[in-house]
Structure 1
């Protein structure tokens, strides 16, 4: 399903290749029409903003948003396991899940990187993809809330993900006591946040959650 790939691409580091691919991504999003029209319209607006912005400014904004704190990390196990040993086993389980469909990680990213997880979901049947995405809905809702609190346009992508998961982005029950990381003084406190859990209850270490790095099909 191309929509999952589009959303994963939009959450990736904004480089020249991404900007060049935006028209194709927009066409895929509209052609598949997996999301409601209003969600697609908001994503198209976000793509237009990316297209028209200065690339260096986009990159600085991305790094400042996603790479300097835990609150909106794109590594989903970061929100669940933090630095505990459970995270390692969860990574192993997730890599095995990808391997079951002939996918492997490339580069130095980890298996719980959200864009990579979305790449995997794009290879799944619609019902399976939706069910797996639902496993992450609670974390997605928290990150969506935190991005919205910062007025970040990336909240649009998380709103679309919650819609695909069958959750109402505006009606999600989010209990978030995380500090605002908008200032350097808040960074230490942000990294000290307690992990959140998927769903109403904590899940086991083998729960299905995202990985890191964009997976690719293994050459046969």
Structure 2
């Protein structure tokens, strides 16, 4: 069932193009296979919203939420490495893991740490390593979840569903997320001010970076 949650969430967090709209009945039906709980409730909440919302409004909202705001970043290493040279190495590491799986993942023009892409990898390429990768960036996922809750968007339910597939309970607040994380902010910033979410003290969480 974890793979099913990851596959549905991958589609829900992608840009709501015509293919997504066409898949809405299939995605909604697929959630019926999930047991009752956080994952099913979170996904159904978003999908019910998507079904009831005109496609052009869905697209406008997606751009507003994910493209025009730094607060709801879907790039996992955005939260941990910011715009540093180290992030290039991190992104290369994502690509290496994809290649090692023997599965050609369609990047759709996105960076390899884009959450919908990571979820697709976890769902159809290498579930074990994909889930491990999500867990390594658990703090990034939880901060994104809180940001979406603050934004008052049904997309928060999708992050709730993803986090529910990972070991342990979700942190109750941002302070708990920071306690979950291991180290401080990136040491090299490129034009970022102190309020930029990429400077949150999460570098090194879960993947051995210091």
The runs of 5 or more residues in structure 2 that have no matched partner are 179-191
Alignment correspondent of 1:210:
none
Residue of structure 2 in register with 1:148 after alignment = 149
CA distance in 1, matches of 2:112, 2:93: 9
Partner of 1:49: 49
Pair 1:196–1:68, CA change in 2 (3 A): farther
Note the C-alpha offset of 1:82.
0.9
- Structure 1 runs of 4+ aligned residues shifted over 6 Å read 188-191
Q: Structure 1 stretches of 5 or more lacking a match?
A: 176-187, 206-220
TM-score (structure 1 length as normaliser): 0.76
**TM-score using structure 2 length:** 0.79
Kindly provide the CA deviation profile for residues 57-106 of structure 1, in whole angstroms up to 9, marking residues without a partner as x.
11111111111122211111111111100111111111111011222344
- Identify the residue that residue 17 of structure 1 maps to in structure 2: 19
- What is residue 83 of structure 2 aligned with on the other side? 83
Equivalent position of 2:165 in the other structure:
164
Q: Which shifted more, 10-19 or 125-134?
A: 125-134
Residue 212 of structure 1 is matched in structure 2 by: none
What is the number of residues matched between the two proteins?
Answer: 192
Correspondence for 1:174: 177
Corresponding residue for 1:30?
A: 32
Q: Say what the alpha-carbon RMSD is for the aligned residues.
A: 2.7
Name the one with the larger helix percent.
2
Contact 2:15/2:62 (CA < 8 Å) preserved in 1? yes
